[in-house]
Structure 1
Amino acid sequence: MLLILAATIASAAALSITAPKALVLSSDGSQLRSESLVNPPSTPITLHSTDTLKLTFTVQEKDQGVRPHQTFLRFYDADSGEEGIQPVRVSASGKAKFDLNMARPPLSLPPTTDKPIHVSLILGSFTHPPAKIYLFDLVLPESQPPPQHPDEASFHVLPEIQHTFRPEQKVPPKAISAFFAGLVVSPWLVLITLYSSVPQKLTHIGSPNILGFITLLAAFETLLLWYWVDLRLGQVLLYGALLGSLTVAAGNRALSSVAKWRVGK
């Protein structure tokens, strides 16, 4: 069957067109230009935004009108490589008519510039060799960019995020750190020195009230160190309030014990 079909196509005459004609009409119906397309016109056909192009022709085989299985107009921009294909209806007698209204252009048109595009006719048939016929050059109004959607910018590629890191924390010299560390510990050194200078009173200083007061003072120092390492300000205020109330009570008892000891002495 394939061989028979191939032989039939080879023996069939090529398709051609007769009486091709192009008319350019304005919006009020007046004729602006008329061209016979037996030979391509020397100058491009120009359409404005309100003009209409009417194209007519007849498809024939051996002086007899035929209807191809497929008939297309091809609009091709040689500079950009863009093209558009528009189907054309052909009657059983081979007559065809196509209207291009620039007030409502078909979506098949490629994007246009101020340069002409090539318009060709493509004929396809199961029983005839295919044909491609160049018709004319066409200048159309330049394509307008589509309106920008309000959310369009959200779908564009965003610039790469550049992280700016804080510089390394500056540490004071070791000598200054040691000086202030000694300044913080100095009250404890003074306290120990005073205790050692009065050994005859150690028995009274070792009383539970005084030892409790000193222990709470050491707890305050530990709380400040813990705050510097891990705690937050709210936690320090809470723990400090609890320690403060206990320290005040223990201090009063310690002072009372010392006062009783001095009176008894």
Structure 2
Amino acid sequence: MQLWHSLLQLSVLASTALPTAVAASAWGFTDATVSVHTKGAGVGAGFKEAIPDNKALSKPVSLGSADTLKVTLTAQEGRTAKRAHQVFLFLQDPETGLDISYPFSVKDNGKSRIELTQKDLPVQFLSVSEPLDARVLIGSFGEADAYNGAAFKLTVARNPDEPVPTVESSRYGKLPEIHHIFKADAQSPPLVITLVFLALVLAALPVLGGVWLVLGVNLNHLPTAFKSAPLPHAVFLGSLFAIQGIFFLYYTSWNLFQILPAVAVAGTVAFVSGSRALGEVQGRRLAGLR
């Protein structure tokens, strides 16, 4: 009985301590280093310092115009190295409160790295007088608390002989005039090509006439056709010549927007008058006239 009582007490103590242990789990980092390498410098030159685990570096870090800032760390949840969902380097100007975040490149084992130059910084950071606050932000899904702690102070070193870039912003002001450059109008083909195709079309007309004669065209029906339906035949032929004239104007002077309405009107007239003319031809065919 006393044994069961002792086991019950141990179970109660374990159940009360378990949530505390789970809640105590939090994100952090280890094996963190910050280094500054100058372009053109030899191997081993530059600045390199280890950042204490989950603490800030005591000495400031200087970043020149030709330098590259590199920060590496291993994200861990509790004491276990893991890949965090979000790992950022957070830079902030303590005077103005302006801030910006840069994401780390994170591997599955939690190892993270980031490289920055002055070109990656906002223009406003290039003229600050005080060092920037650099913080590390680590967070992910789950119950573990996110990490948000100071890492080091970043001093942006500028060459005094080089002008500091400025931000030009114009709100509600006059903007420069916009000059539109339109595409050049379509040009007609060279005259030689046009004459070649015209010659081919004219050469096909005798061939067409010969085919009509072989098939037995009867020109004697022309007076009968124009006598039975003079208006449809005349309008139909006139609309065909009008369409050809529109195409000639398009080649010489008109543009596409000018010929489209004209072709639409002439085409409609040709369709209506052609239907009436074909009706007259059908009547003669049904009457046995060939």
TM-score computed with the length of structure 1 as normaliser: 0.49
Larger Rg: 1
TM-score computed with the length of structure 2 as normaliser: 0.45
